[in-house]
Amino acid sequence: MRRRAFLATTAAWATAQAQDWRHSEAFRKLYNLDFDGAIPLLEKDIANQPGEPDHYNNLAYAILYRALFAGDALDGGVALSVADYLHRPKVAFSKTDRDRFHKVLQQAEAAAHTRGECADALYALGVSQTHRANFALLIDKEWRAALSTGGEARKLHTRALELDKNFVDAMLVPSFHEYIIGSLPIYLRALGFLVGFTGEKEKGINGLRTVAQYGQRAKLEAQVLLTLVESREEHPERAVEIMRSLVKEFPTNHLYRKETSSLLLAAKRKEEARREFAELSHERYRFLKPARLEAYRKEFEAKLRA
């Protein structure tokens, strides 16, 4: 009885933490592309709650994605077009940031281990491994290391779901992997069974939809991945609906606006796409560099003529 009460209390506390994060100033700044504004707030979170692994994971995310954003590496569906990304020049990542990134993740993992094998701790460990996988792929371009580490993240989140089947956020990584395996040619799909996957695309998509609708910590990531998947599956209208909600929620994040214009083009709604793209010139998109906007413009006009 005491164990059940403890687990119930832990789950309720974890949910409250996730809700606080979603409504925090640090969250707003981070996903509005104000990385320099978000990082001091994330450091303050750690100082106030040094035993909370989520805070360390959030800071590691900010350090990684600040570099990717500075290197113009956040455009487009990298998750679904890894081969193209691997042929681009590497993103600059200083030794200071590299050392700090790995140290922060070590602190996240140490904090998670103090909680024992509960769903919340396993989830936090899986998030740390996901960040390591993204670093291996997006910074070092070591795709084999990324696959291995991503697999560890999946196992941790699968174990979290075994302990708590209602832990919706833990569905994200397993669901996305299920979709990827299901998208492989039939002669490769059989490999998925070796790692516990059925290779059912629809199962993976439904999992992403569940997290996008009901998730707490991973809701935003699920929404972004779902737009990429829906577009790939030739449902651009569904993707547009999700992305437009993100444009409204994060008014200085030009990446969401730019992606919306691309999705509208894919849906053959050219006039709407033009209007959407024109919004990128608005002063609220203060993190969009003029040279980058011009590159966007050339790309957009080329798609219009295609």
C-beta of residue 148 within 8 angstroms of C-beta of residue 157: no
- Residue 185 maps to a domain: no
Banded model confidence at residue 76, pLDDT cuts 50, 70, 90: low
3-state SS, the chain, equals CHHHHHHHHHHHHHHHHHHHHHCCHHHHHHHCCCHHHHHHHHHHHHHHCCCCHHHHHHHHHHHHHHHHHHCCCCCCCHHHCHHHHHCCCCCCCCHHHHHHHHHHHHHHHHHHHCCCCCHHHHHHHHHHHHHHHHHHHHCCCCHHHHHHHHHHHHHHHHHHHHHCCCCHHHHHHHHHHHHHHHHCCHHHHHHHHHCCCCCCHHHHHHHHHHHHHHCCCCHHHHHHHHHHHHHHCCCHHHHHHHHHHHHHHCCCCHHHHHHHHHHHHHCCCHHHHHHHHHHHHCCCCCCCCHHHHHHHHHHHHHHHHC
Supply the angle between the helices 53-70 and 119-138 in degrees, to the nearest 10.
20
Banded model confidence at residue 184, pLDDT cuts 50, 70, 90: low
Read off the pLDDT of each residue in 198-225 and give the average, rounded to a whole number. Answer: 91
Q: Residue 237, class by beta-carbon neighbours within 10 Å (0-12 exposed, 13-18 middle, 19+ buried)?
A: middle
Read off the pLDDT of each residue in 253-276 and give the average, rounded to a whole number. Answer: 94
Q: Which CATH number covers residue 120?
A: 1.25.40
Lowest mean pLDDT among 30-34, 190-194, 222-226: 190-194
Domains contained in the chain, number: 2
Banded model confidence at residue 144, pLDDT cuts 50, 70, 90: confident
Distance CA 282, CA 288 (A): 10
Tell me the residue range of the domain where 107 lies: 1-166
Q: Which pLDDT score, from 0 to 100, does residue 234 have?
A: 87
- Residue 301 maps to a domain: yes
- Residue 41 maps to a domain: yes
As a whole number of angstroms, the longest Cα–Cα distance in the chain is: 67
Q: Which pLDDT score, from 0 to 100, does residue 200 have?
A: 76
In sequence order, the 6+-apart residues with CB closer than 8 A to the CB of 5 are none
How many Å from the N-terminal Cα to the C-terminal Cα in the chain?
65
- Residue 174 maps to a domain: no
Backbone CA torsion sign across 189, 194, 178, 63: negative
Supply the angle between the helices 236-249 and 254-266 in degrees, to the nearest 10.
160
- Residue 199 maps to a domain: no
Both structure tokens of 183:
């998208």
Banded model confidence at residue 37, pLDDT cuts 50, 70, 90: very high
**Which of 128, 151, 166 finishes a domain?**
166
- Residue 210 maps to a domain: no
Residue 157 sits in the same domain as residue 241: no
Q: Which pLDDT score, from 0 to 100, does residue 19 have?
A: 62
Banded model confidence at residue 177, pLDDT cuts 50, 70, 90: confident
- Residue 214 maps to a domain: no
Both structure tokens of 137:
């792929």
Read off the pLDDT of each residue in 165-180 and give the average, rounded to a whole number. Answer: 93
Q: Which pLDDT score, from 0 to 100, does residue 89 have?
A: 82
- Residue 205 maps to a domain: no
Residue 139 sits in the same domain as residue 242: no
Distance CA 235, CA 171 (A): 22
Distance CA 258, CA 280 (A): 7
Smallest CA-to-CA distance from 199 within 209, 210, 187, 211 is with 187
Both structure tokens of 278:
């024109």
**Which of 121, 143, 166 finishes a domain?**
166
Residue 27 sits in the same domain as residue 130: yes
Banded model confidence at residue 187, pLDDT cuts 50, 70, 90: very low
Residue 144 sits in the same domain as residue 2: yes
**Which of 166, 184, 215 finishes a domain?**
166
Residue 66 sits in the same domain as residue 151: yes
Q: Which residue has the higher pLDDT, 88 or 141?
A: 141
Q: Residue 76, class by beta-carbon neighbours within 10 Å (0-12 exposed, 13-18 middle, 19+ buried)?
A: middle
